[in-house]
């Protein structure tokens, strides 16, 4: 009985010793600091929306042995860039771009220092932002990783929505227009009085109000010049408010300029065997104040006639609907060609449309 008691006591002692040992090892690992990061939390201060600011952490190997740094980053956002500088090396590679989180496999000697430099670029944000906290991971070999953290306050007095006016296809003389809304964000009040021209574009602002907010808001409308060259365009706008030190109001108008007179669809398909010998074609004039008179079929590469034409459903004089009819026999094979319409518009006197006829089955 005494022997059994001793055996049980020994087992209990061994179990307690094992628990204490495990607890001690976990605590030592968690508490051990192999890479010192100073400061522990980096405050970058306040930056005006659209501007940059920067700061640095000092890293030091305090493990007493060579320390393998596998990777720094990647940054959690596209809000900036990071660079690692080895301060205690006189030659060799001493600077590394680390924002993308590429593998470094860098060895720091005991007490060797490295400076981690971070640049924050507030212009990369499309959405409004007032404060941003950034965490940069530092991955080590055989040791838990550490994190370098920083924060920056971004002064965003107002926001612009949308930042890009997408006008799509616009006519040469359409004088297309669009608008953005400039609304208060960090500041409740600001002034934006605009009535001017920028590169031929008419720019006018108007103060607007919303039922659920007493903050200032403005609608800024831009109108294209009387005539624009054909092709894609991207027109930037930069406006100033009356708030001292505030960033400018920035946005762009984008699209592609096409001839004023156009037609849809681009290809008419006739299928006389299936009782579809007629097809509708919509023709329009995009020019501001433009109209369409009676259209005529100037020529076609096959037996097609202009059967009828009528105003569009909305009665817009700049839009017409044509009915074209295939008057020939059903071809033995697929037949295609082109027809030309006379528009009566001096700037675009003709419109060309492709056509196809389905063969006999």
Q: Residue written as tokens 């010793």?
A: 17
Whether residue 104 sits in one domain with residue 212: no
Residues 250 and 275 in one domain: no
Boundary of a domain, candidates 138, 155, 172: 155
pLDDT score of 361: 87
Task: Look up residue 42 and give its two tokens.
Answer: 């980096």
Instruction: Classify residue 49: in a domain, yes or no.
Output: yes
95, 83 in Cβ contact below 8 A? Answer: yes
Distance, CA of 309 to CA of 311 (rounded, Å): 7
Domain assignment of residue 275, yes or no: yes
Domain count, the chain: 3
Q: Token pair for residue 191?
A: 């002034």
At 128 the pLDDT is 80
Report how far Cα 160 is from the mean position of its chain's Cα atoms. Answer: 14
Residue 30 lies in a domain: no
Task: Report pLDDT for 99.
Answer: 80
pLDDT at 347: 86
Dump the DSSP string for 347-359.
SS-EEEEEEEEPP
In order of 42, 48, 293, the CA distances from 262 in angstroms are: 59, 47, 14
In a domain, 1, yes or no: no
* Structure tokens, 276: 């579809």
Q: How many residues make up the chain in this entry? A: 361
| Helix, strand or coil, per DSSP, at residue 188 | coil
User: Same domain, yes or no, for 180 and 148?
Assistant: no
Question: Are residues 58 and 88 located together in one domain of the fold?
Answer: yes
Shared domain check, 138 and 40: yes
Burial string for 268-304 (b: 16+ CB within 10 Å, else e) reads bebbbeeeebebebebbbbbbebebeebebeebebeb
The torsion angles phi and psi of 19, rounded to 5 degrees, stand at -65, -45
Looking at residue 211, what is its pLDDT? 63
By the 8 A CB rule, do 340 and 351 touch? yes
Q: Is residue 119 part of a domain?
A: yes
Q: Which of 74, 123, 120, 129 shows the shortest CA–CA distance to 98?
A: 74
Residues 302 and 200 in one domain: no
Which class for 32: exposed (0-12), middle (13-18), buried (19 or more C-beta within 10 A)? exposed
Cα angle 309, 315, 321; round to 5: 25
- Residue 20 confidence (pLDDT): 31
Q: Looking at the whole model, is its pTM more than 0.85?
A: no
DSSP one-letter code for 331: P
pLDDT of the residue at 27? 32
Q: For residue 27, how many other CB atoms are within 10 A of its CB?
A: 10
Judged by phi (left if over 0) then psi (alpha if -120 to 50, else beta), residue 270 lies in beta
> 74 in a domain, yes or no?
yes
Q: What is the pLDDT of residue 77?
A: 82
Are both 141 and 173 inside the same structural domain?
no
- Domain boundaries, position 220: 158-258
* Final residue of a structural domain among 113, 129, 155: 155
- Are 65 and 163 in a shared domain? no
Q: Are residues 146 and 42 in the same domain?
A: yes
Specify the pLDDT at position 12. Answer: 34
C-alpha to C-alpha distance for 57 and 84, rounded to whole angstroms: 10
Does residue 162 sit in helix, strand or coil?
A: coil
Do 324 and 237 fall within a single domain?
no
Give the integer Cα–Cα distance in Å for 300 and 329.
16
Per-residue pLDDT of the chain (361 residues; tens, 9 = 90+): 433 333 343 433 333 333 333 333 333 333 368 999 999 899 999 999 889 999 999 999 999 999 999 999 898 888 889 999 998 887 766 888 888 888 888 899 999 999 999 999 988 887 788 889 999 999 999 899 999 999 999 999 999 999 999 999 999 999 999 999 999 999 899 999 999 999 999 999 999 976 667 889 999 999 999 999 999 999 999 999 999 999 999 999 999 999 999 999 999 999 999 999 999 999 999 999 999 988 999 999 999 999 999 999 888 899 999 999 999 999 999 999 999 999 989 888 999 999 999 999 8
Q: What is the DSSP letter of 109?
A: P
- For residue 10, being part of any structural domain is answered with no
Please check whether residues 250 and 289 belong to one and the same domain: no
180 and 125 in a single domain? The answer is no
**CATH for 351:** 2.60.40.10
Residue finishing a domain among 129, 155, 181: 155
Q: Which residues face 139 on adjacent strands?
A: 71
Q: Cite the DSSP H helix spans in the chain.
A: 2-31
Structural domain includes residue 77: yes
Among 149, 150, 145, residue whose Cα is nearest residue 70? 145
């Amino acid at each position: 009985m005494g022997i059994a008691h001793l055996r049980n006591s020994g087992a209990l002692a061994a179990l307690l010793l094992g628990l204490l040992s495990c607890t001690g090892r976990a605590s030592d690992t968690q508490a051990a600091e192999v890479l010192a990061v100073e400061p522990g939390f980096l405050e970058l201060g306040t930056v005006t929306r659209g501007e940059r600011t920067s700061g640095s952490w000092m890293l030091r190997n305090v493990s007493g042995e060579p320390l393998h740094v596998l990777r720094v980053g990647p940054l959690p956002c596209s809000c900036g860039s990071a660079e690692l500088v080895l301060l205690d090396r006189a030659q060799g590679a001493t600077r590394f771009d680390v924002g993308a989180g590429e593998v470094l496999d860098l060895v720091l000697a005991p007490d060797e220092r490295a400076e981690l430099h971070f640049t924050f670029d507030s212009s990369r944000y499309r959405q409004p932002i007032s404060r941003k906290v950034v965490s940069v991971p530092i991955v080590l070999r055989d040791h838990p990783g550490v994190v370098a953290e920083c924060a920056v306050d971004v002064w965003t007095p107002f926001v612009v929505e949308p930042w890009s006016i997408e006008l799509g296809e616009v006519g040469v003389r359409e004088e297309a227009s669009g608008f953005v809304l400039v609304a208060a964000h960090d500041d409740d009040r600001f002034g934006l009085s605009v009535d001017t021209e920028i590169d031929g574009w008419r720019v006018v602002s108007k103060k607007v109000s919303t039922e659920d907010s007493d903050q200032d808001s403005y609608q800024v409308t831009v109108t294209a010049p009387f005539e624009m060259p054909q092709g894609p365009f991207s027109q930037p706008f930069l406006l100033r408010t009356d708030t001292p030190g505030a960033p400018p109001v920035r946005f762009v108008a984008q699209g592609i300029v096409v001839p004023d007179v156009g037609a849809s669809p681009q290809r008419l398909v006739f299928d006389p065997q299936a009782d579809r010998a007629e097809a509708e074609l919509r023709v329009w004039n995009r020019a501001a104040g433009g109209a369409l008179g009676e259209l005529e079929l100037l020529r076609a590469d096959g037996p097609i006639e202009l059967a009828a034409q009528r105003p569009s459903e909305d009665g817009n004089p700049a839009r017409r609907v044509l009915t074209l009819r295939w008057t020939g026999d059903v071809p033995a094979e697929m037949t295609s060609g082109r027809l030309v319409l006379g528009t009566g518009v001096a700037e675009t006197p003709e419109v060309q449309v492709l056509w196809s006829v389905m063969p006999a089955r």
